[in-house]
Amino acid sequence: MTMEVLAKSNPPISLASHSQDVADACEAMTSAVITSRLQAVGLDIRPGRIAELARLAGKYHDVGKAQPSWQQACHRARQCEDTPVSFPPHSVVSAVYASRALPVVSDLSETELRAIVLAILHHHTGFTCKNMEPSELASQIRAETLDQEFEHNVRKAGFNSVEITPAIISDFENEIERIRGFRDQSERTKLGLLTVFLYSILRQADQHVSAGKDPNTVIQSLEPDDISLFDKLRPFQTKVADAIEERMMGIAGCGEGKTHTALQWGQSLLEDD
C-alpha cells in the first residue's frame, strides 16, 4: 500500500492540499498597496504581479517534504503522537527544486526567480549570513537521498518531476554565493525588497493555513485610504532626523526587529550628538 504524501502529520494533511492552500493564502494577502510601495522604490512591477509571485512561492515552499526521509518521519509522527519525532530539513530542497522547476512553468525575470527561491529557502529561518552560507546549505541537502522515490512523491503531490543531482546542488550553492556578493547596489536593493515582501507574505500565509484557518479569509492588507499618517514627527524622531545627514530605509520581515533596531540606532546618534 502506497503511503499518502503528507505535509502535516496531526491531523494528516496532504502535501498537495497544503501547498494549494498556502498558495491561495499568499495571493489573498497581497494588495495594490504592496505593488505601489515596490514601484515607489524603483522596482518595475505591474499591478497583480506580486500576487502571482507570492502564489508561486506558496505553491512550492514545501515541496522538499517529498523527501523519503521527511515522509518517513511524518508518518512515524502520525502513528506515535505522544513521542517527539525529529524531522530532517526541507526548505533547502524546496528552494533547489523551485530554482529548477519555476523557469519551466512560469515566465520569470532573474530577479523574480531569485526572490522566490530566497523566500522559500528562508521561510523557516531568518535572513542571516550563517543561514546563507553554502556550507550550511550543503550539509542540509547532501545527507538526503533524492532518488526515484523522491521523484515519485513529487509527482504524486501534483508537481513536475525535476532532476536534482550533485552538480545541480553545487550550482545552487554557487548561485547563493553570487547573490551574497552582489556589488550592484541598485540590483541588490530591488532583489532585497522583493525577497522581503515575498518572505513576509509566505511566512504569514503558511502560519495562517497551518493553524487550520481558511486560506481565503485572511486578514487583508491595508489599502492606501485606510492608512492615516501623523502630520508631524514626534520630538524623539525630530531629534534623530536632525542628527543624520541622509535619509535611510530599513527593510525586514514581520517581527524581525525593525523598531528595536531603529530605536537603538537613534539613541546612539543622540548620545554621540
Residue-by-residue pLDDT tens, the chain, 273 positions: 468 999 999 899 999 999 999 999 999 888 655 667 677 666 777 778 989 999 999 999 999 999 998 999 999 998 887 788 889 889 989 999 999 999 998 899 999 999 999 999 999 887 665 555 555 665 666 545 567 888 899 999 999 988 888 888 888 888 888 887 766 667 777 888 888 889 988 998 999 899 898 888 765 544 445 444 455 666 766 766 676 666 666 666 555 566 766 766 667 766 765
CA 226 to chain centre: 27
Which position has the grid cell 495571493?
27
Q: How far apart are CA 100 and CA 114, in angstroms?
A: 11
CA-based angle 11:53:252, to the nearest 5? 85
Q: Which three cell numbers stand for residue 126?
A: 531568518
CA-based nearest residue to 123, from 60, 35, 37, 178: 60
- The helices-and-strands tally (H runs, E runs) of the chain is 12, 2
Q: What span, in angstroms and rounded, lies between the C-alpha atoms of 67 and 147? A: 9
Contact present, 215 and 18 (Cβ < 8 Å): no
Q: Are 63 and 97 in contact (CB under 8 A)?
A: yes
Work out the burial of residue 232: count CB atoms within 10 Å of its CB; fewer than 13 is exposed, 13-18 middle, 19 or more buried. Answer: exposed
- b/e sequence 143-156, b meaning 16+ C-beta within 10 Å: ebebeeebbebbeb
Phi, psi (degrees; rounded to nearest 5) at 41: -100, 15
